[in-house]
Amino acid sequence: MKDLPKEPLSSEITPKAVYVNRREFMKNGALALGTAAATGSALLWLGGQGPPPDVPEVAAASADNPLIVAGRSYDVPDEAQTPNRDVITYNNYYEFGIDKDDPARNAHTLVTRPWTIQVEGLVARPQTIDVDTLLNWFPLEERVYRMRCVEAWSMVIPWLGFPLASLVKRLEPMGSAKFIEFTTLLNPEQMPGQRSPILKWPYVEGLRLDEALNPLAFIATGLYGSVLLNQSGAPLRLVTPWKYGFKGVKSIVKIRFTDEQPKNTWAIAAPREYGFYANVNPEVNHPRWSQANERRIGEFQRRKTLPFNGYADEVAGLYAGMDLRANF
Ligand code: MTE
């Protein structure tokens, strides 16, 4: 195996074209904010030196908590959960900036009610569903999952939500549907990052339908016993713990069933670096850094990265006979 750096510098995470555009992003953002009601902290953010994110206290799930959780169906018993403060202040959500603390500082501009999810494509009944209707369809459950970012850091997160399979079955895709595509809100007014072409907006991700029906695939609506904060992808986002974190599309407004493999945002941005499958694989390095191990947020020692992020028993069968180097 080539001697690659363990982890990218933050300036290297994005493909070069994206990084080169960063200046333009800052400039466009400044222009847009200049014409809008620019606040002092927004301008400070553009200078990369905003105030520390305001972290609300989050109550643990309890009898008094309004979120009723049916139970915990998956756990990572031997690994400590990443502190909530880290989970909600160290984020990737380019619609709100490209530094890890930008989303916590900036995502308050996202308006999550009213919110609808449009269902279209190869489906029995195309429909538009109010998010609160959808949330009432399924009992909430808690799932503690490892999350491994393609940038070689990881967390252990107690999500709340429901199985993606339950949603897919309820939406009744046609027999001809082979893939499911998810799209994030497109709203440059609420999402300042979308004022700049650092990525192709809106953010899109997809799964093969059999992946979506795997019991591990999850729609998260909360974490650490409370509803999702905007920076984590409110009001609902995808969680596929055996895949790199970029598959976890946030703030979903559209679900489309299709017979063609969706074109996912990061694969469009840098096709040699990011694929469609994005299964966690310590054997296949990113062209610019090693994927053999990872930095668990809050720990000093690096951990070995596990095939399928430790979920091989549950998901390896989905890829039987596939070349996982070609289909990265
Ligand atoms: N979804 C949207 N809409 N925009 C993004 O920039 N970033 C992805 C993914 N979902 C992203 C997104 C990446 S790269 C990662 S690692 C995870 O969200 C991060 O999720 P977290 O911030 O909750 O840890």
Nearest residue by C-alpha to atom 13 in ligand 1: 246
Distance 124 CA to ligand 1 centre (A): 30
Per-residue buried b or exposed e for 26-57, using 16+ beta carbons within 10 Å of the residue's own CB: bebbbebbeeeeeeeebeebbeeebeebeeee
State the closest ligand 1 atom to the C-alpha of 149, by its place in the atom list counted from 1: 16
E-state strands within 131-232: 140-148, 153-163, 179-184, 204-208, 218-223, 226-227
Is residue 130 a contact partner of residue 119, using CB atoms and an 8 Å limit? no
Helices and strands (DSSP H and E) totals, the chain: 10, 13
Query: Taking the mean position of all CA atoms in its chain, how far away is CA 51?
Result: 25
Distance 93 CA to ligand 1 centre (A): 5
Distance 55 CA to ligand 1 centre (A): 19
Secondary structure element (H or E) that encloses residue 131, with its range: helix 131-137
Nearest residue by C-alpha to atom 10 in ligand 1: 249
Distance 318 CA to ligand 1 centre (A): 24
Q: Name every protein residue with a CB atom under 6 angstroms from any ligand 1 atom.
A: 91-95, 149, 184, 203, 232, 245-246, 248-250
Backbone φ, ψ for residue 289 (5° rounding) = -160, 165
Per-residue pLDDT tens, the chain, 328 aa: give them: 445 666 665 555 555 444 444 444 444 443 333 333 333 333 233 333 343 344 444 444 444 555 667 788 899 999 999 999 999 999 999 999 999 999 999 999 999 999 999 999 999 999 999 999 999 999 999 999 999 999 999 999 999 999 999 999 999 999 999 999 999 999 999 999 999 999 999 999 999 999 999 999 999 999 999 999 999 999 999 999 999 999 999 999 999 999 999 999 999 999 999 999 999 999 999 999 999 999 999 999 999 999 999 999 999 999 999 999 999 9
Nearest residue by C-alpha to atom 24 in ligand 1: 91
State the closest ligand 1 atom to the C-alpha of 184, by its place in the atom list counted from 1: 3
Query: What gap in Å lies between CA 182 and CA 205, rounded to an integer?
Result: 5
Mutating to test ligand 1, I would choose from 246, 268, 274, 297 the residue with most ligand atoms within 8 A of its C-beta, which is 246
**pTM for this prediction:** 0.85
Query: What gap in Å lies between CA 272 and CA 287, rounded to an integer?
Result: 8
Task: Write down the CATH number for the domain with range 10-319.
Answer: 3.90.420.10
| Of the candidates 102, 106, 96, 165, the residue with the CA atom closest to the CA atom of residue 137 | 165
State the closest ligand 1 atom to the C-alpha of 93, by its place in the atom list counted from 1: 6
